[in-house]
Structure 1
């Protein structure tokens, strides 16, 4: 019995036979799909596309919508997005109920930088009930989760939360969806954040929370370490072998590499740029390994100029990036990310340097393999809390946080220019709203009630948080008009604003970091509460270095009373302001050369070969 030419191992012959049979209308749809599958398996997408297009030119079939769909997927793979969109639309025109074609069309629109069109396409899938949980549960979840993800990326936070809530209602056991849903509620100040949907417990929500979300949700260092370790288990590949020799390289100068995607207008670079500039080039050679966005900011250019070698690794995968770092023979690699957005934890996991540490980016234990040290000070990580860190604390002599004395400050505005009353005491808190929580916000409301001639000045982070905060104030018996919201402005104007406030109220358990540094630099006292975790001790560390322990509290009751006391006794606040002004001139927090010497001494203590 002769062998069907379509079964030949020679794919060129199979392709030619299929094209001929299409022209003679002698190829069945299943045969077409079989040939296409074999060509796809052989990595021949151009031939697959040509095969489908040939079929559609010659054959009329009730299943042509499937062929158009497959053509769209193939053209998408080839980067021919306009042609792919035409194919998906042709599939939809033939079968308007074909939900997968609608979903793929939305995905293609997102790739073409048309997020609102993509969201509208996916929403239509739900509104027209093209998918439902009994018949097409997986595609229903994919659609809800896509809407949630892209809405979050485009800062449509309420819509994102609603889409993910619908997804969880259909399938509660989705840890990654829970993770985003929780953080969306934090960003919008939807309280209680950890109110579990049906089918879930509060413990389920905590277990699925991101390490970043838990910094604002808990002052339990053990829980935070567990979250970090879970992240590592799920996301980080632990290699069988490492790249760098443990003994180092014996360079005349220690080669220090900083690893980050935040070498741009970002809080990390705002703090570190002068550190990079002042490192002693007689002893150190400084490298920046970067996958940051090119934002064109003066800060990014300043960071680039501060490096002896600025190496872009954005186009390299993690292994290639680690190998690049290894080829540069870096002695000490300092990861400025930890577990924050944009991190590439598999790079340090490959150990491209003999000594590796984490600094600034993530205020907590990272749990990351390959990270030996966390740069800290004795206040930030007391001896009693060391067991909750996967890294060994590398203590600087006085303060862990660096500063930039050259940060530009705009002309100081009047209170009227800030939308503030001239005759009121102005509390402020310019932390990101996801750091807010019920206990601290309710404490702020009690402070306002006890100081009737005061207002609270907050960052206008997003409209949903603003509405929820105003509603909560009203529930607590405070006129929402006493909450004033400042829009985001460039860094120089943001810094200048601090001159219009009287007292900064810090958040807990996730303190201000860069924000506290900025406020103190501008001479604004910061009232904080310290707890057990890194995140809850950041502001206290800065105040300790400035000799202002009176501004550190260890309970909400003490915090509330201290705020009321300072607002009610102007002379006491004036004394603190004068001491802060003096500390700015004498403290290592703002003495960058002195800080850099401490930083260098710490690195030399743990350098390879020491």
Structure 2
């Protein structure tokens, strides 16, 4: 008679499918805890997490405290993204087996997805201590440390991972990106070369978002996105759309709260024509409350709370609501869920605003303008390009609070202030070298930067010394509430943009406050948003054509006493901060997509 031992031997030999088939016969003939347990484990290994969970629950009905069953059940729930249940299951498993690294790892994964980063870090710390040579645990801890704004610590884990398993997926890119957070440029060129080699060899060796910041190569950006795209599922059959119905548009995001994307979008949502458009917000981010989330809820007719739903469930809910257009505002950014589009949420799927790159699959349309995706650049996009008059929306202009004094923010009196409030991860060695050239050419100037992650300021000051610039000429701004952050812009003379990932919302913030932005557009969308904004206000003299031109313009423009007044007037004349006008152009694009 066949036994669970034979099935286990098959499993140990790597024949999981055969072991599962044997276990299915065993539980039909003579169900036992062992057979149910092994059936659950093999199904989980074969990618059938839901079937695995059913088998494990059947085993637990016979023995509710068996450690292996409790552990495997945790892993199955985590694989199914049933995170609240997974956390409860992990606690139960650890109560009977308190030193179980896979369970701690699964617990960390579920806590991380639920936003409990500190608790997740404590869990993965247990796993690393118990199994210090397991690469997956080091990699997860590095990711968590990055989310907790501790990239220097994340880099140390990734350096250790290089010793354990130099072939670990995305290792070179993750280390390069972690170091970029603190402007630690050791081995930067070598790591960059490894990342590009991975992509050229057809390996998804870098997260798509990081790729946009690491190099200005749209062909590689598309390859990276295509390699990273979630698998497709069969396309549903869409019913005929009733003529004359309002167009149903759903905005999908985790950032529908006090966030840069929400600040850009809020006025447009409020300006949508309710007689022609029915607006849905599909929020899979946190319920934060607060003024911005309340404003967004008031601006949308329907608010779908989707954080606890799977990608497939969210797509199904969108289809049940009859969406004509699903607009993904996240793409491959943190907490983005491109798998929703893979499950087909609407007949027309659009990528816009939150992610300045192609998804490589599943989106039909990208919204851009003639600057961010110039004619001839369409080959780098898997989506069809629909161009608006300008790409980035903005809330309406409003009075700002008074600015702080220079002394309050650490700026010297009388100095010319070059400024960049971009995340320091966008500052490449090349950009910083150019900035130091500008500072050497303008001796009575300072460079005012966003402080960013711990360690970034110290590393940048050390690089300034190497470049022959006194470190005290770099002044760092700490995080501040948004109204105070906007107000302090008034103290800057000229914003210096970064490349290949330039200023987007940060450029709009500066222009809103009448501060000029000098930009150097490259080939990629991410490098061209500053140029798009400046084109929208008819200030092409702030768009450099080369690195040498960027330096020359910076020195001339910062000394121009009339420039800020000209920028403020150009902003007032333009429609850049007119959400009603933007909504009208957006609605015209949506209507054309539905007709098509």
**Is TM > 0.5 for Structure 1 vs Structure 2?**
yes
1:29 aligns with none
- Whole-Å separation in 1 of the counterparts to 2:40 and 2:107: 23
2:383 aligns with 391
Instruction: Report if aligned partners of 1:407, 1:492 keep a CA contact under 8 Å in 2.
Output: no
- Whole-Å separation in 1 of the counterparts to 2:383 and 2:74: 48
Whether 1:249 aligns to 2:228 is: no
Instruction: Give the 3 Å change call, closer, same or farther, for CA 51–487 of structure 1 in structure 2.
Output: same
2:570 aligns with 583
**1:410 Cα deviation (Å)?**
3.6
Instruction: Give the 3 Å change call, closer, same or farther, for CA 243–560 of structure 1 in structure 2.
Output: farther
| Greater mean alpha carbon deviation, residues 313-322 or residues 521-530 | 313-322
1:271 aligns with 264
1:64 aligns with none
1:219 aligned to 216, 224, 232, which one?
216
1:121 aligns with 126
**1:602 Cα deviation (Å)?**
2.1
**1:435 Cα deviation (Å)?**
1.0
1:362 aligned to 355, 363, 370, which one?
355
- Whole-Å separation in 2 of the counterparts to 1:143 and 1:341: 20
Whether 1:512 aligns to 2:503 is: yes
Q: CA RMSD in A?
A: 3.1
- Whole-Å separation in 2 of the counterparts to 1:248 and 1:565: 57
- Whole-Å separation in 1 of the counterparts to 2:225 and 2:37: 44
Instruction: Give the 3 Å change call, closer, same or farther, for CA 195–277 of structure 1 in structure 2.
Output: same
| Greater mean alpha carbon deviation, residues 407-416 or residues 291-300 | 407-416
Deviations 1:458-515 (A, max 9, x none): 1111122222211111111111111111111111111111011111111011110111
Whether 1:298 aligns to 2:291 is: yes
Instruction: Report if aligned partners of 2:436, 2:467 keep a CA contact under 8 Å in 1.
Output: yes
1:154 aligns with 148
Deviations 1:490-549 (A, max 9, x none): 111111110111111110111101110011001111011112211111011111111111
2:97 aligns with 88
1:596 aligned to 572, 583, 588, which one?
583
2:415 aligns with 424
Instruction: Give the 3 Å change call, closer, same or farther, for CA 521–199 of structure 1 in structure 2.
Output: closer
Instruction: Give the 3 Å change call, closer, same or farther, for CA 407–288 of structure 1 in structure 2.
Output: farther
Instruction: Give the 3 Å change call, closer, same or farther, for CA 551–123 of structure 1 in structure 2.
Output: same
1:487 aligns with 478
Q: Which runs of 5+ in 2 are unaligned?
A: 5-22, 42-51, 78-84
Deviations 1:229-248 (A, max 9, x none): 1112xxx1212323534x63
- Whole-Å separation in 1 of the counterparts to 2:541 and 2:189: 36
2:81 aligns with none
Instruction: Give the 3 Å change call, closer, same or farther, for CA 37–285 of structure 1 in structure 2.
Output: closer
1:26 aligns with none
- Whole-Å separation in 1 of the counterparts to 2:39 and 2:522: 61
1:165 aligns with 159
**1:293 Cα deviation (Å)?**
0.9
Deviations 1:147-171 (A, max 9, x none): 3233223222122112122223332
1:546 aligns with 537
Instruction: Report if aligned partners of 1:511, 1:537 keep a CA contact under 8 Å in 2.
Output: yes
Instruction: Give the 3 Å change call, closer, same or farther, for CA 322–435 of structure 1 in structure 2.
Output: same
**1:559 Cα deviation (Å)?**
0.5
Q: Which runs of 5+ in 1 are unaligned?
A: 16-31, 54-66, 93-100, 133-139
Deviations 1:318-377 (A, max 9, x none): 2222121112222222221222222222222333322221111111222222x2221111
Deviations 1:252-303 (A, max 9, x none): 3222221111111111111010000001122212111111211223111111
**1:37 Cα deviation (Å)?**
4.2
Instruction: Report if aligned partners of 1:194, 1:205 keep a CA contact under 8 Å in 2.
Output: no
1:313 aligns with 306
Write the mapping of 1:341-360 to structure 2, written as runs, cut at 5 A: 341-360=334-353
1:184 aligned to 172, 178, 182, which one?
178
Deviations 1:161-200 (A, max 9, x none): 1212222333222224444323212212221564447996
Instruction: Report if aligned partners of 2:402, 2:487 keep a CA contact under 8 Å in 1.
Output: yes
1:229 aligned to 209, 223, 226, which one?
226
TM-score under structure 2 length normalisation? 0.83
Q: Secondary structure at the match of 1:529?
A: coil
Q: Secondary structure at the match of 1:148?
A: helix
Q: How many residues align?
A: 546
- Whole-Å separation in 2 of the counterparts to 1:111 and 1:334: 27
2:279 aligned to 286, 289, 308, which one?
286
**1:455 Cα deviation (Å)?**
0.8
Instruction: Report if aligned partners of 2:199, 2:223 keep a CA contact under 8 Å in 1.
Output: no
Larger Rg, first or second structure (1 or 2): 1
Instruction: Report if aligned partners of 2:173, 2:195 keep a CA contact under 8 Å in 1.
Output: no
Instruction: Report if aligned partners of 2:246, 2:276 keep a CA contact under 8 Å in 1.
Output: yes
**1:306 Cα deviation (Å)?**
0.3
- Whole-Å separation in 2 of the counterparts to 1:228 and 1:102: 32
| Greater mean alpha carbon deviation, residues 279-288 or residues 428-437 | 279-288
Whether 1:526 aligns to 2:517 is: yes
Instruction: Report if aligned partners of 1:192, 1:438 keep a CA contact under 8 Å in 2.
Output: no
Whether 1:459 aligns to 2:453 is: no
Instruction: Give the 3 Å change call, closer, same or farther, for CA 34–475 of structure 1 in structure 2.
Output: same
